[in-house]
Every structure is written in C-alpha cells, then in structure tokens.
Amino acid sequence: MEQSGSDLSARVARLESSSRRDRAIVVAVAVLALATAQVPAPSSTPVVVRDATGVSATLSARGLTVRDAAGHERAFVGIDVDNRPSVDLGDSAGQLRESMYLLNELPVLRQFDKAGKRRAEMRLDASNDGELLINDAAEKLRLALFRTKGGDPQLGLYGSDEKLRAYFSTDDDSPYLVMRDNAGTTRIYAGGYKDGSIGLDIRNAANAIVWRAP
C-alpha cells in the first residue's frame, strides 16, 4: 500500500532521532573508555596512619593492624595467613594472647599464655555443640566441658598424658561419676545404672567389682 506524505515524514523523523541517539551512545562509550584508561589502577600499597604518640594503624588488602608506640602488634582484624577471618590481640610485648577465627568454618576462641602456649579454648564442634578446653603449660588437655555423642553434658578431667581420668555427666535419669586409672580402666563408678538403680561400686585393675552399695 502506498504511504502518504505525512507517514513518510514521520518515519524519516523517527530514523533521524534513532541515528542521533546511536551517535550519542557511541560518543558516551568512547568518553568512558578514555576516562577509565586515564584512571590509575588501584594501589595495593598499605595505608598507614600514625598519631603523635607513635601508635599506628595499617590498612591493607588483608586487614587492619594496630601497633603501639614501640612497634608491637596489639590488634589485627582481617584475613590471616591461612585465609581465615581472624581477630588477634597481643600484649605489650607483642605476644599473641587471644585469637578468634573460623576453623573449618566453625568459630574458635583461643587464649595463650606469655610463652605463646594455648591454655584455653572455646569453640563449636562438628555437631555445632559448644566445647570448653583447658590446657596446662605443655599444651596438654587437662579439662574439657562438652556434650557426648548422645547429647549429654559432660565434664572430663585428664592426666598430663591427656588420658581421661575422670568424668562427670548426666542423662535424663540420673547423674553419674566415673574414675579411671592410667590404663583407662574404670575403678570407681557412682550414679545411675542402666537398670534404673543408683549406687556406687569399686573395681580392681581387671574392671571386676570388688565392692558395691547398695
């Protein structure tokens, strides 16, 4: 069908408008590319801020580090060398005393003595149950507070060889106390038995009961 003069004029106007818009887009892209080329690449150089007392804070791509006037690291917040989010606190000598981070995606809070030995730890285990662990100066586990596989709360006491010597726990029926020798044999049991009774028994090294009450 033949188009009228008014239709042709309208179409020409639309084409001219589209052409002007396309030219504007091309110019804008060219300007943006030129501007981007002129902007320097982001610098990886740490930024250091220092006050009149000598205390400094260093911001890098890995995190924020704060040092005292003597240059000792007192605090760090960021990603540690093992690529874990971490918060570390140091004493006036720069010795790490407390660290909080994610270990295998589970939160851990550790505390260290002046010699750098781990003495206390609070964390979630693989079942997302809370644990409290206390170590001696040789970093040997001596006391633990946790939940058993059955879900019961338990307090465990360990020898210097980290062998479990005694533990106190409870289920829904009654609490119970177990004492062991260095071979791991139960020598004293007090509390609820599986048959529902409650009592106390003393055993020999072969785990045979030598005395029981009631």
User: Comparing 30 with 60, which gets the higher pLDDT?
Assistant: 60
Q: State the average pLDDT over residues 18-35.
A: 42
Residue 43 DSSP class: P
DSSP state of 46: P
Query: CA of 190: how far to CAs of 81, 151, 157, 158, 185, in Å?
Result: 48, 20, 16, 18, 15
Query: Given this model, what pLDDT does residue 194 score?
Result: 87
- Count H helices, E strands: the chain? 1, 16
Maximal CA-CA distance, the chain: 118
- 3-state SS, residue 133: strand
Question: For the residues 48-75, what does the mean pLDDT come to?
Answer: 97
Q: Which two tokens stand for residue 213?
A: 């009450």
Per-residue pLDDT band at 44 (split at 50, 70, 90): confident
**Which tens digits make up the pLDDT trace of 196-209?**
899 999 999 999 99
The H or E element that residue 24 is part of is: helix 5-38
In angstroms, rounded to a whole number, what is the distance separating the alpha carbons of residues 52 and 41? Answer: 32
pTM: 0.74
As a whole number of angstroms, the distance between CA 18 and CA 124 comes to 63
> Which element (helix H / strand E) includes 107?
strand 106-112
- Token digits for 42? 């982001």
End-to-end CA separation in angstroms for the chain:
113
Write down the pLDDT at residue 33: 43
33 vs 9: CA distance, rounded Å? 37
Work out the pLDDT band at 8, boundaries 50, 70, 90: very low
Separation between Cα atoms, residue 122 and residue 2, nearest integer Å: 86
Structure tokens that stand for 208 in this block:
């045979």
24-38, 57-71, 98-112, 165-179, range with the lowest pLDDT:
24-38
